[in-house]
Amino acid sequence: MSTAPARAKPRAGDVRQPRLGPLGWGRWVWRNLTSMRTALFLLLLLAVAAVPGSVFPQRNIDAGKVTRYLAAHRGSGPWMDRLGFFDVYASPWFSAIYLLLFISLIGCILPRTRVHLRALTSRPPKPPRRLDRLPAHTHIVTAVSAEQALGAARQALRGRPGRLGKSRGRFRVHGHDPATLSAESGYLRETGNLAFHIGLCLVIVGVAIGHLWSWRADVIVPEGSGFSTALGSLDTFSAGPLVNPADLPSFNLNVTKMNVTFEDKVGGSQFGKPRKFLADTTVDTGTGRPHPAQIAVNSPLRIGDAEVFLLGNGYAPVLTVRDAKGAVVYQDATPFLPQDGNYLSTGVVKVTTAAPQELGLDGLFLPTADQNFTRGPTSLFPGLRNPVLVASVWTGNLFPGNAPQSVYTLDTSQMKRLTKPGGAPLLIRLAPGQTVQLPDGRGSISFDRTVRWAGLSVRHTPGKTLTLLAALAAAAGLITSLLVKRRRVFIRVTPDPSAGDKPGAVVTIGALAKGTDPTLTAVVHELADHIARLTSQAPPDRRPR
């Protein structure tokens, strides 16, 4: 006798769930991925994922700042770096959200486009039997025949004036039988909805094009000097994965003069405010014949596929450093970076050829310094009225471990600050034309003059036109989908039994809307008034009885 356990009998109400195969699971994943809920979630997730890109420094913008952040956060910094927090927009997880959102939007658009095209070519449905059960309904009694009343209703639906004689839209009308009319309006609502989703997809495509093929180079150029598009001549350079630096447009640009003016009316609320930023330049595109050009704020210079923007300006003191024998070991215009609206600027000078040790200056430049320094090292006006350079002097190893560092910071970990004979830290203060001798026979530092510098950014950003147009189309589509209402109106005309031998007809109107439509009742009443006017009847009395 078999001792196998008996199989349990299914009880009433038990429903056995079918097992999904690979194809079933694939359909389930696709159905959920292309749902509107998933698309909205991915859009929100993309916005949240972009937050670290604005909170933490990014390598493609400021690699030196990333290095300083890692040095200051030795515990969490390396883990954040592994997770891509310093290259957010190029990280695998950000790209995955990006691609999933694109696929989800495409999956939403295709079936909705098919349904919308079918709705545009299909006829409005037949009227229900009881129009008085629809959300908005009314009726009027006319003194014309049923055929004439139906013709007036058709005319009112196809071109009915709204308030103040302005058109409020037209209906697409179809008569299923000689006594009824079905009409629909608001197809533009779904068209706007599709335009919004297509615009979002095109925005993603435009951003992707910009990420893959765009490049950017930033450079600070003092007056009287220039740069070329060779990588060694640029301060920073960042490019997309598909950009070949050898394909950059070749040109040389020199800044001849930086024109900057400030409001100098003392006592006014606008005192010290900028009035003009304009860079006079000469450009040589390889012909050997430079031509003049100007670059202003929000007015870039276009050279081939590249655009040169004026992003900033400041002052560059021209310093001359001599050794103990009087030989010049450094002479250049050193850009100082503004820190406030009065152009209090910080800067660093690194002299690697000084002997017996390398020399570094870490200081402030004041375009208009207080005569007596009663407020400390501050600038009272952004223009050059009383320029003063204040700096401390350091000697030692400028580049410990030969690690890369910013030209605007001074690493003093392996340096020693120079002191006065009494042991107090040395702090030099120079005006243009002045020279100071360094202690211990280390030479001298001269402040020759001050020139301005222009902060230029050379960019090639393909896809920005597509992104702008797509964003405008998405905004227009969203506004259209919110303002346009999808409505269906049904009209039934029956003979008036109380008219006797005279002509007469009862026109019953019912309407419903897709979603909420607080104006639906007003539309029905307006349509009834129009039909009454077309049949030469007085508008129906709507006062409560």
Closest of 266, 336, 253, 339 to residue 300, by C-alpha:
253
Which of 63, 87, 119 finishes a domain? 119
Q: 528 lies in a domain?
A: yes
pLDDT at 169: 52
**Max CA separation in the chain (angstroms):** 128
Q: pLDDT digit of tens for each residue in the chain (545 aa)?
A: 445 555 555 565 555 555 667 788 888 888 888 887 888 898 899 889 889 888 888 876 666 678 778 878 888 888 988 888 888 887 888 889 988 988 988 888 888 899 899 988 888 999 999 999 999 999 999 888 889 999 999 988 887 544 433 334 578 899 988 899 999 998 899 999 999 989 989 998 998 898 889 998 889 999 999 999 888 888 888 888 888 888 888 899 999 999 999 988 877 778 888 888 999 999 998 888 889 999 998 899 999 889 999 988 999 999 999 988 889 999 999 999 998 889 999 999 999 887 778 899 999 999 999 887 777 788 989 999 999 999 999 999 888 877 777 788 888 888 999 988 888 888 999 999 999 998 888 889 999 999 999 999 999 999 899 999 999 999 999 999 999 999 999 999 999 888 777 888 999 999 999 888 899 999 999 999 989 888 875 555 454 43
Closest of 205, 264, 255, 261 to residue 227, by C-alpha:
255
**Contact (Cβ atoms closer than 8 angstroms) between residue 74 and residue 9:** no
- Single-letter residue type at 288: G
Both tokens of residue 140? 């009027």
- 111 and 142 together in one domain: no
Q: 57 lies in a domain?
A: yes
- Burial degree of 107 (CB within 10 A; 0-12, 13-18, 19+): middle
- 280 and 352 together in one domain: yes
Cα Rg of the chain, angstroms: 38
- 266 and 414 together in one domain: yes
- 222 and 292 together in one domain: yes
Q: How many CB atoms lie under 10 A from the CB of residue 175?
A: 16
- 69 and 133 together in one domain: no
Would you say the pTM of this structure is higher than 0.95? Answer: no
Look at residue 298 and give its three-state secondary structure. Answer: coil
Q: 3 lies in a domain?
A: no
Which of 104, 119, 134 finishes a domain? 119
- 336 and 429 together in one domain: yes
| Residue 271, CA distances (Å) to 143, 264, 268, 370, 490 in order | 79, 6, 5, 17, 69
- 365 and 432 together in one domain: yes
- Burial degree of 465 (CB within 10 A; 0-12, 13-18, 19+): exposed
Q: Are strands 225-228 and 274-284 parallel, antiparallel or unpaired?
A: unpaired
| Residue 453, CA distances (Å) to 85, 230, 283, 379, 437 in order | 33, 20, 17, 18, 28
- Distance separating alpha carbons of residues 535 and 527, to the nearest angstrom: 12
- 167 and 238 together in one domain: no
pLDDT at 545: 37
- 386 and 400 together in one domain: yes
Q: 520 lies in a domain?
A: yes
DSSP-assigned beta bridge partners for residue 490: 182, 510
Q: 468 lies in a domain?
A: no
Find the angle CA(55)-CA(57)-CA(63) to the nearest 5 degrees. 175
pLDDT at 307: 93
Which of 460, 475, 508 finishes a domain? 460
pLDDT at 493: 93
Q: 261 lies in a domain?
A: yes
User: Which residues does 231 contact at the CB level (< 8 Å), separation at least 6?
Assistant: 237, 245
Q: 24 lies in a domain?
A: no
Closest of 462, 455, 463, 464 to residue 306, by C-alpha:
462
Q: Are strands 180-185 and 306-322 parallel, antiparallel or unpaired?
A: unpaired
- 66 and 178 together in one domain: no
- 433 and 518 together in one domain: no
**Contact (Cβ atoms closer than 8 angstroms) between residue 537 and residue 143:** yes
**Contact (Cβ atoms closer than 8 angstroms) between residue 345 and residue 314:** yes
What letter does residue 72 receive in the DSSP assignment?
H
- Single-letter residue type at 11: R
- CATH code where residue 178 lies: 3.30.310
- Distance separating alpha carbons of residues 146 and 131, to the nearest angstrom: 18
pLDDT at 512: 93
Q: Total domain count for the chain?
A: 3
Q: 362 lies in a domain?
A: yes
pLDDT at 128: 92
pLDDT at 271: 86
- 316 and 230 together in one domain: yes
Tell me which residue range forms the domain holding 105: 29-119
Q: Are strands 306-322 and 236-239 parallel, antiparallel or unpaired?
A: unpaired
Q: How many CB atoms lie under 10 A from the CB of residue 26?
A: 11
